[in-house]
Amino acid sequence: MTKAGVNGKPKVAFIGLGAMGRGMAIQLLSEGFPVSGFDVNPMSLETLLAMGGTAAPSPRECVHDASFFICMVANATQIEHVLFTESVGAVFGLKKDATIILCSTVAPGFPQKILDQIHHRFCRPDINLVDCPVSGGTLRAAQGTLTIMSSGAQNALRLAHPVLQSFSQALYTIDGGLGSASKVKLINQHLAGVHIAIAAEAMGLAATMGINTKQFYDIVLKSPAHSWMFENRVPHMLCNDWSPHSALSIFVKDLRIVTSEGLNENFPLYIASAAERLYQFAARAGYEKEDDSGLVRIFIPQNLSLISEATHRESHAADHERTSRMICLILSIVHGVAAVEALSLGIKLGLSIKALNSIISNAAGASKSFAAVATAMMGQQIAPIRTLTQSRDILKQATVIAQTYDYPLQITTTTLQLLQQAVARGLGDQDQAALHVLWNPLAL
């Protein structure tokens, strides 16, 4: 018999009450679901208790009598620990026909691996599993407005739908079976990780070149250089706030998933690999547990508060406009080339550009350049913004100027090399969507 609250809604076990998980669990409570929680952080459990949930001393006891088990821990290793630790793991307490909702960002093959172990090693063929990564950040988690990607068996998806709907604004079902949703999340994280990295690179350059960083931020929000991550993360840079709204270690992990998938598929990921190295460097510099926006500090090691200090700077109007325009162009071009790389990987993984465009436009990987590139790669006619030769020349000029400041343009110069390749192949008169031949030579 299903354990249910007074309103008849089934009990939900929630493990992983971190920055996003806590908001998701509280949202479930507000929707009338009984919620039992487990987390290694006692403060998170106290918050859940204060909001009307219950706290469990172990994963096994947390999932007892729950129809649904949402797992929102940090990585694959933690998932295996939560599920399979001898005697206290969740697998030992799951009720008959329970549904696991796996919300962590993992490699596409991992959900099926977990389900196979549950079915065969632990002899629980009755258990359902939904691959269900989420996007949107801590605020949208608390508001119940996340973008959710889901895949799995039809019956499992049907059962999980009311639960997922309670904390989502956009809920997508991805065709292709278990793991397909994680493929989509992988593409989103490729873009989101690159967008934070180029935002950091751009803000460091703006401050180094003497412009008011707050004014520059406002300019970007109204320009084609806008991305969801720029709008969301740069305010942390502007006020020197490195408290972990989303820890930098998450993108060390997530971009490793992205680049590892590229290695598995023998698929080159130039920009994602460059971004991954920046996160790794920042983690080794001691920023791993702080906010991912703190990546900007590796670009300004002589003065780690430069971005914040530059919010009060007075700059000459003509210089400010000229420099701001150049850096906006850097952002726009990099976002566009990154979109081609990410969408090309999506195609390699069997995903459709149409589906990716719809989903990512509502997720953290969104940017104005992504929308334009996706539209063009779907074969729809749009007015070209600039040719590949023009984009190359803009980045060449920016690189020369940055050299006079001894400023490292890591993501920008990687993007420049790709544009150099494209122009050398005779694609200079085409727009950014034509870059897909660098990842799919047979399309030339």
In a shared domain, residues 288 and 260: yes
The CATH number linked to 115 is 3.40.50.720
Q: Which of 43-47, 68-72, 317-321 has the lowest mean pLDDT?
A: 317-321
Angle 180-208/410-424 helices, nearest 10 degrees?
110
Active-site annotation, residues: 185
User: What's the whole-number average pLDDT of the chain?
Assistant: 95
Task: Please indicate whether residue 2 or residue 363 has the higher confidence score (pLDDT).
Answer: 363
How many other C-beta atoms are found inside a 10 Å radius of the C-beta of residue 370? 25
In a shared domain, residues 80 and 170: yes
In a shared domain, residues 167 and 224: no
In a shared domain, residues 134 and 267: no
In a shared domain, residues 73 and 53: yes
In a shared domain, residues 71 and 58: yes
In a shared domain, residues 69 and 142: yes
Domain boundary among 155, 178, 201: 178
The CATH number linked to 220 is 1.10.1040.10
Residue 363 has pLDDT above 70, yes or no: yes
Task: Please indicate whether residue 380 or residue 79 has the higher confidence score (pLDDT).
Answer: 79
In this structure, are strands 134-135 and 146-150 parallel, antiparallel, or unpaired? antiparallel
Instruction: Tell me whether residue 4 is in a domain.
Output: no
Task: Please indicate whether residue 318 or residue 408 has the higher confidence score (pLDDT).
Answer: 408
Instruction: Tell me whether residue 305 is in a domain.
Output: yes
Instruction: Tell me whether residue 119 is in a domain.
Output: yes
pLDDT > 70: percent of the chain: 98
In a shared domain, residues 412 and 431: yes
Whole-number Å distance between alpha carbons of 87 and 89: 6
Are 127 and 119 in contact by the 8 Å Cβ rule? The answer is yes
Confidence of residue 383 (pLDDT cuts 50, 70, 90): confident
pLDDT of residue 6: 57
**Total of domains in the chain:** 2
What is the tens place of the pLDDT at every residue in 198-221? Answer: 999 999 999 999 999 999 999 999
Domain boundary among 144, 160, 178: 178
Instruction: Tell me whether residue 444 is in a domain.
Output: no
Confidence of residue 443 (pLDDT cuts 50, 70, 90): low
pLDDT of residue 3: 45
Instruction: Tell me whether residue 276 is in a domain.
Output: yes
Confidence of residue 381 (pLDDT cuts 50, 70, 90): confident
Residue 5 has pLDDT above 60, yes or no: no
φ and ψ at residue 245, rounded to 5 degrees: -60, -40
Q: Indicate the pTM of the whole model.
A: 0.95
What is the tens place of the pLDDT at every residue in 163-203? Answer: 999 999 999 999 999 999 999 999 999 999 999 999 999 99
How much is the average pLDDT of 39-44? 96
Domain boundary among 117, 147, 178: 178
pLDDT of residue 2: 37
List residues bridging with 37 in a β-sheet: 14, 55
Instruction: Tell me whether residue 146 is in a domain.
Output: yes
In a shared domain, residues 129 and 216: no
Confidence of residue 1 (pLDDT cuts 50, 70, 90): very low
Angle 42-50/21-30 helices, nearest 10 degrees?
20
In a shared domain, residues 257 and 380: yes
How much is the average pLDDT of 314-342? 93
In a shared domain, residues 22 and 73: yes
Instruction: Tell me whether residue 239 is in a domain.
Output: yes
pLDDT > 90: percent of the chain: 93
Say which residue the tokens 């939560």 belong to. Answer: 82
In a shared domain, residues 164 and 195: no
Task: Collapse the DSSP code of 264 into the 3-class scheme (helix H, G, I; strand E, B; otherwise coil) and give the result.
Answer: helix
Which residues span the domain enclosing 275?
183-439
Instruction: Tell me whether residue 157 is in a domain.
Output: yes
68-71: strand order across its sheet: 54-55, 35-38, 12-15, 68-71, 99-102, 128-131
How much is the average pLDDT of 36-64? 97
Q: Which of 81-90, 136-145, 323-332 has the lowest mean pLDDT?
A: 136-145
Helices (H) and strands (E) in the chain, counts: 18, 9
